[in-house]
């Protein structure tokens, strides 16, 4: 249970009409990794097959932005950070070089 000393909490607004529970948000490639931000407003989805990172607005149930393309290093896994528009991700890399990056999405 959270106590007042744990820091501020943010109430989510569910008054708007969003997608139904279990709704499918379609994409052209299968998802390799997904991660929700702790504030519950964003979902980060990576697809290794097309090397893209998508940002989904959980309140609207859609992605308002174009997917981010990682042509050189690819993208495999994604993990949230302290900020809702900053993520850690790993690329596919090569046998000699592992790729781990931090990227701001804005």
pLDDT tens-digit series, residues 35-57: 888 888 888 888 888 888 888 88
The pLDDT of 68-92, averaged and rounded, is: 84
CA 69 to chain centre: 14
Nearest to 105 by CA among 30, 27, 45: 45
Nearest to 63 by CA among 11, 15, 105: 105
Does pLDDT of 93 surpass 80? no
Reported as a pLDDT band with limits 50, 70 and 90, residue 103 is: low
pLDDT tens-digit series, residues 9-45: 556 565 666 666 666 666 678 888 888 888 888 888 8
């Amino acid at each position: 249970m959270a106590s007042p000393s744990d820091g501020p909490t943010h109430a989510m607004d569910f008054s708007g009409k969003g997608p139904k529970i279990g709704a499918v948000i379609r994409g052209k490639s299968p998802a390799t990794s997904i991660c929700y931000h702790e504030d519950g407003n964003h979902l980060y989805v990576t697809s290794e097959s097309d090397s893209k990172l998508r940002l989904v607005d959980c309140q609207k149930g859609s992605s308002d932005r174009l997917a981010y393309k990682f042509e050189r290093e690819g993208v495999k896994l994604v993990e949230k950070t302290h900020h809702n528009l900053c993520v850690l991700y790993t690329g596919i890399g090569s046998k000699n070089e592992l790729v781990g990056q931090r990227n701001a999405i804005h």
